[in-house]
């Protein structure tokens, strides 16, 4: 437990001091499962921050599997990269809870509007510490951006990322979150997309299944009823023949 707290504490200090960069690529399937590849870059002088520490946190999240991880260097930055697979949005929520103090995952919600489109919202929120409430620190943090690239399973209708950051051919949006802005206020990534195909056909399939079941039950009922009627007619006929004898 002490090791975990130390790891989280270090990570918070790194993020709040602007010593950390973050970028991710998130791919959603129609059922909102998917893959997440994220990279955390830390100044190489911080030796206490290790790949294994992050993996231990990820292994505790239900519905999430670590597919691969690696550590590499670019300039004076040491990057730790993870490729994970998640079963549903609840798994991402669990990941956010595992790294809640850091705040790079955030809260993801999906809702349906009155036109049947999906409203996707992701809220990043981090409380400012006394160290970050300083003009000089704010100027430093303003130079850092976290990059969030998200591929949706259906056509993107609109997003608050700017038209130049929307690739409509691949249904991909890229958001860049300024670290100084994040420290000051919650940052929202939002998009409206068309309802994924699997979601569109769920209710028609359910209705079709119910109708088919009713037809089957009715057919069986009529079959049994007809059998009883034929049996009754046979017994009446046998009874009449017996009387004639």
Residues 39 and 152 in one domain: yes
pTM of the model: 0.72
Residues 187 and 222 in one domain: no
- Write the secondary structure of the chain as one string of H (helix), E (strand) and C (coil): CHHHHHHHHHHHHHHHCCCEEEEEEEEECCCCCEEEEEEEEEECCCCCCCHHHHHHHHCCCCCEEEEEEEEEEECCEEEEEEEEEECCHHHHHHHHHHCCCCCCCCEEEEEECCCCCEEEEEEECCCCCCCCCCHHHHHHHCCCEEEEEEECCCCEEEECCCHHHEECCCCEEEEEEEHHHHHHCCEEEEEEECCCHHHHHHHHHHHHHHHHHHHHHHHHHHHHHHHHHHHHHHHHHHHHHHHHC
Residues 70 and 166 in one domain: yes
* % of the chain residues with pLDDT over 90: 45
Residue 203: per-residue pLDDT: 54
Q: What is the pLDDT of residues 133-167, one digit of tens each?
A: 556 666 777 778 899 999 999 999 999 999 999 99
Residues 205 and 166 in one domain: no
Domain span at residue 202 reads: 198-245
Residue 17: per-residue pLDDT: 45
- Count structural domains, the chain: 2
Residues 165 and 204 in one domain: no
């Amino acid at each position: 437990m002490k090791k975990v707290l130390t790891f989280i504490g270090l990570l918070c200090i790194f993020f709040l001091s602007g010593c950390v960069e973050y970028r991710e690529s998130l791919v959603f399937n129609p059922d909102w499962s998917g893959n997440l590849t994220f990279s955390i870059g830390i100044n190489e002088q911080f030796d206490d921050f290790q790949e294994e520490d992050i993996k231990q946190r990820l292994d505790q999240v239900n519905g999430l599997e670590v597919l691969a991880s690696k550590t590499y260097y670019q300039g004076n930055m040491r990057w730790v990269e993870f490729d994970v697979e998640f079963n549903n949005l609840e798994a991402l929520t669990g990941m956010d809870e595992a790294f809640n103090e850091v705040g790079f995952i955030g809260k993801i919600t999906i809702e349906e509007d009155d036109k049947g489109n999906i409203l996707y919202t992701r809220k990043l929120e981090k409380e400012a510490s006394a160290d970050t409430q300083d003009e000089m620190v704010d100027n430093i943090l303003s130079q850092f951006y976290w990059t969030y690239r998200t591929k949706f399973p259906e056509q993107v209708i609109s997003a608050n990322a700017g038209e130049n950051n929307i690739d409509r051919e691949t249904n991909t949006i890229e958001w860049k979150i300024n670290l100084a802005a994040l420290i000051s206020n919650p940052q929202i990534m939002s998009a409206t997309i068309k309802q994924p195909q699997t979601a569109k056909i769920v209710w028609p399939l359910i209705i079709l299944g119910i109708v088919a079941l009713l037809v089957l039950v009715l057919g069986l009922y009529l079959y049994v009823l007809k059998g009883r009627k034929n049996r009754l007619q046979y017994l009446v006929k046998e009874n009449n023949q017996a009387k004639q004898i």
